[in-house]
Amino acid sequence: MSLEQVTLVDPKVGSQATVLVGYGFNCYKFQGVVDGAPVDVLWSHPNFASGKERPSHSGIPLLFPYPGRLRGTTLSYGGKTYELEGNDTRGNAIHGFCLNRPWKTIEQSAARVVGEFHASQVDPSILTKWPADFRIVVSYELKGNTLASTITISNPDNKPLPYGFGSHPYFRIPLGAGGSAESCRVTVPVRKYWELVNMLPSGKKLPATGAHGLAAGLMFPETKLDDVFTDVEFTNHAATATIADGGSGRTLDVVFDDHFSQCVVYNPPHREAICIEPYTCLPDQFAMAEQGIIAAPQTLAPGQSMTCGYEIRLR
């Protein structure tokens, strides 16, 4: 049985995006059109629509209620212990509960789709694995060669909801026909990155220079990254990361708002893509709070909600 998916089309430009609703509401295809030529922006496994490939390795995985790793496989919070999910092969939980389960389509038009994941309705067992029920609503909308996403997170429970959200897009390198991976320059407005020990933050910040110097820009062949960057520079509440392909003359912008305080940058081993991943929190935020590195984990009170968003622009 095939999984539910929705294809969006912008009739003026001819851009398209496809969202696999039945497998994490993952937007695994986004094709823009520049000077009459189609350009595939996102990298995904050819068989991803089957739902049998790793949910975190294609398209735009949605990471919630914890993006990145949490130390160990259990969480102690509010005097209770919760069994987590995800396995990073190092003994840690990773990426939350939403990226490999079906979502519900709650709104759809030619160029826009909205999906909902309400934990207690999708899978009641999640309530034994996280301190509170949660609801996350994500929209994707095509506006010419821009794919815009808005995320609203709400707490429908009667207890506090600790949370963090991350988007994990895989951007194809190079940017379409005539492009060159060797001539792609990656720029992200970040000034520091977190030292990682066994892929978990130690709590120490380091200057993002040299091999981590994304603010000045790094050529794609120089990037060998799987790092959490911080001290993001925002202008008018927005930060813009870019991939500029000198071979094709095309540029991809990733514009995210200032709810996203961290940004992971990752080179998958196949070297056909790079991930620029805005996160609303530091991975392993519970341990970081216990150590006094951050004041407290992000939390929504009962009935409270928050909204954030980002855009992917091809030009």
pLDDT tens-digit map of 230-260: 999 999 999 999 999 999 999 999 999 999 9
Instruction: Quote the CA–CA distance of 203 and 195 in Å, as a whole number.
Output: 7
Tens digits of residue pLDDT in 176-192: 999 999 999 999 999 99
pLDDT given for residue 269 in this prediction: 97
Q: Indicate whether 236 belongs to any domain.
A: no
Strands (E), 21-134: 26-34, 37-40, 62-63, 69-70, 74-77, 80-83, 93-94, 104-108, 112-118
Residue 1: pLDDT band (50, 70, 90) is low
Q: What is the DSSP letter of 289?
A: H
Average pLDDT of 285-289?
98
Q: Indicate whether 198 belongs to any domain.
A: no
Q: Which of 299, 311, 315, 286 is nearest to 92 (CA)?
A: 286
- Average pLDDT score, the chain: 98
Residue 278 predicted with pLDDT over 80 = yes
Tens digits of residue pLDDT in 143-164: 999 999 999 999 999 999 999 9
Cβ pair 285, 254 in contact under 8 A: no
The per-residue DSSP string of 112-131 comes to EEEEEEEHHHH-GGGGGTSS
Q: Indicate whether 186 belongs to any domain.
A: no
Q: Indicate whether 162 belongs to any domain.
A: yes
> Domain containing 14 — which CATH number?
2.70.98.10
pLDDT given for residue 108 in this prediction: 98
Tens digits of residue pLDDT in 12-60: 999 999 999 999 999 999 999 999 999 999 999 999 999 999 999 999 9
The answer for 78, left when phi > 0, alpha when psi is -120 to 50, beta otherwise, is: left
Q: Indicate whether 134 belongs to any domain.
A: yes
Q: How many domains does the chain have?
A: 1
Instruction: Quote the CA–CA distance of 296 and 289 in Å, as a whole number.
Output: 5
Q: Indicate whether 185 belongs to any domain.
A: no
- What whole-number percentage of the chain has pLDDT above 70? 100
Q: Which of 82, 24, 61 is nearest to 286 (CA)?
A: 82
pLDDT given for residue 62 in this prediction: 99
Residue range(s) defining the domain that contains residue 268 = 6-177+260-314
Q: Indicate whether 254 belongs to any domain.
A: no
